[in-house]
Copies of this chain bind each other. A is one copy, B any other.
Amino acid sequence: MIRHTVVFRLKHKDSSAEEAKFLVDAKILAAIPGVEKFEQLRQVSPRNDFRFGFSMEFADQAAYSRYNDHPDHVAFVRDRWIPEIEAFLEIDYAPLS
């Protein structure tokens, strides 16, 4: 199992229509084959300045790679993520064996 997470801050104003639209439209990622346990989350710690997070799980690295290469993911990153995200950090977890 690989848990892929990304914590981020949008360029949009807090609680704006643009913020809401980004979050709704990002749900397209949940439909990409191999994506399990897709979650959209609010980042609530005062110890960093990110505002949201996405989390999803893949069975293995091959499923994760297929997601990365999927046209819907590639298009989302190009058309929405890069233009609308101010800052982000990717953190991926595997079970500690």
- Interface of A toward B, CB cutoff 8 Å: 2-4, 7, 23, 40-45, 47-48, 50, 52-53, 55, 89-97
Q: Which B residues are in CB contact (< 8 Å) with A91? A: 7, 43, 45, 48, 50, 53, 91
Q: With the chains together, A55 CA to B2 CA distance in Å? A: 14
What copy number does this chain have within its complex? 2
Interchain CB contact under 8 A, B96 and A44: no
* Cβ-defined contact, B93 with A41, below 8 A: yes
A90, B45: Cβ atoms under 8 Å? Answer: yes
A60 → B minimal CB distance (Å): 12
Name the B residues within 8 Å of A45 (CB-CB). 4, 90-92
25 contacts between A and B (CB under 8 A): A2-B44, A3-B41, A4-B45, A7-B91, A40-B96, A41-B93, A41-B94, A41-B95, A42-B94, A42-B95, A42-B96, A42-B97, A43-B92, A43-B93, A44-B92, A44-B93, A44-B94, A45-B90, A47-B89, A48-B89, A48-B90, A53-B91, A53-B93, A55-B93, A91-B91
